[in-house]
Structure 1
Amino acid sequence: MMRLLFIGLWVCLVTLLASYGGAYWMAGSAGAKSEEPYLAGLEYRRLDPINVPMIIDGTVRGYVIAKLVFTADAGTLRKLPIDPQIFVTNAAFDEIYTEGRIEFGKLSKYNLAEMMANIRMRANEKLKGDVITEILVDGINYIDKSEIRALVDRTGDAPKKKSSAASGEKATH
């Protein structure tokens, strides 16, 4: 009986030491993995579409819808404490809202290269460094307010007024 008890203790001791050794070995190898270099290079990030209202004479005349992509160094992006997409979106909205004026009947070409350079410059100023390498245009469009209304009227998704009978009120004569 004593022999069986010593064999049981021996098995428990070997199991505990093996578990401890395995855990210690895995903890040491995890630190080495995190220090491995990452793949460097440019990273492309697509922004959500930006809807910018065009206000002329105090009224909204339409919307500019822009889809942009920016490039940045992958290593620099990993080191940033905040996502740079917020700053690029804000800079793009500011640039299109203040500089992207559209006049009725006078649709002209814009200097997109200059606009993208201004967006890049504003975003990098906020990020306090040369983080953004380039701003690319995925798509840019202008939708007139009347076109939006016509589209809503065609699809029938416009909110409808409730009649007094439909709202449950009784008419008195």
Structure 2
Amino acid sequence: MVLIGIWACVVTLASTFGASYWKSHHSAPAEPAAHVEKLEVKKVKPITVPIISDGMLKGYISAEFAYVVEASNTSHGSGGGAVDADSYVMDEAFRRLYADNSLDFRRIEKYDLNSLTRELTKSINQRLGAELVRETLVKSFAFVPKDDIPH
């Protein structure tokens, strides 16, 4: 009876040790690693856009933008000719702000910056012919009245 008890204990210990050893040394099939995107924020030079209302210069919009691109797409182009997206961001931002009739310089705090950045991203990517720019960011945005500028 004692031998059967010892035998049961040895079998239990051996099976527990065997199972834990097998589990620690037998790993499950590795899942493919998810593609981790490395994003990069690129700063753009500040722009100054004149605001003209009723045929008169009222002041300037001073704005600074940045854009987010995938690090592997820091330049875009075919045939080795790289195209710098900075120029496109600055040009699109200037054009949008200059031609935007909904921009009320008297209440600049009410301007829809979310809409502006979405539209900038969309039109920049259309002009580049690829989904290069992930997002356009506003670093600063202010209206400076003409009277506040020293002559």
Instruction: Report how many aligned residue pairs link the two structures.
Output: 111
Name which of structure 1's ranges 41-50 and 91-100 shifts more when overlaid on structure 2: 91-100
- Aligned residues of 2:76 and 2:84 also touching (Cα < 8 A): no
Q: What is the TM-score of this pair, normalised by structure 1?
A: 0.59
Match status 1:60 vs 2:57: yes
After superposition, residues 71-90 of structure 1 pair within 5 angstroms as: 71-80=68-77, 81-90=82-91
Deviation, 1:86, is: 0.5
State the Cα deviation string for residues 127-159 of structure 1 (Å, max 9, x = none): 0011000011111110000111xxx2xxxxx4x
Identity %: 25
Structure 2, gaps ≥5 residues long: 1-36
Gap regions ≥5 residues in structure 1: 1-39, 153-157, 159-173
* Equivalent pair of 2:108/2:142 in contact (CA under 8 Å): no
Higher relative contact order (CA 8 A, sep 6+): 2
Given the superposition, is the C-alpha separation of residues 87 and 57 from structure 1 closer, same or farther in structure 2, using an over 3 Å criterion?
same
Corresponding residue number in structure 2 for 1:120: 121
Whole-angstrom CA distance in 2 between matches of 1:140 and 1:110: 10
Amino acid at match of 2:60: Y
When normalised by structure 2's length, the TM-score is 0.67
d(CA) in 2 for partners of 1:111 and 1:79? 29
Show the counterpart of 1:145: 146
* RMSD value, Cα: 1.9
**Does the 8 A contact of 1:43 with 1:71 survive in 2?**
yes
